[in-house]
């Protein structure tokens, strides 16, 4: 789900060319349902924190950033706050 409005997306696009495409890519991605609660409200997990990825994580619920290496799981559940593979 997109969490920011059109104006914010346009501002991000100016700062990070093609970020809109990346956000759309994650929005469209077919992710696994949660292994713990079965929710479809899940996210793809990526490591590291740089400007562009922070903004992608801010813009869509389907992208989750973590500082932990290795990632605690391939996916993250937005409903029960747990990582899973």
Residue 80 near Zn ion by CB under 5 A: yes
Three-state secondary structure of 29-44: CCCCCCCCCCCCCEEE
Phi-psi category of 18—alpha, beta or left, where left has phi over 0 and alpha has psi -120 to 50? Answer: left
Task: Pull the structure tokens for residue 13.
Answer: 């696009």
- Judged by beta carbon, residue 42 or residue 60, the one nearer Zn ion is 42
Per-position x/- string for 34-63, each x denoting binding to Zn ion as judged by CB under 5 A, each - no binding: x-xx-x------------------------
Residues that bind Zn ion (CB under 5 A): 34, 36-37, 39, 77, 79-80
């Amino acid at each position: 789900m997109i969490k920011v409005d059109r104006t914010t997306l346009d501002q991000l696009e100016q700062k990070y060319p093609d970020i809109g495409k990346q956000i759309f890519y994650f929005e469209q991605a077919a992710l696994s349902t949660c292994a713990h609660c079965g929710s479809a409200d899940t996210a793809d997990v990526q490591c590291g924190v740089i400007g562009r990825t922070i903004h992608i994580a801010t813009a869509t619920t389907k992208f989750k950033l973590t500082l932990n290496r290795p990632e605690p799981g391939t996916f993250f559940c937005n409903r029960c706050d747990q990582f899973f593979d």
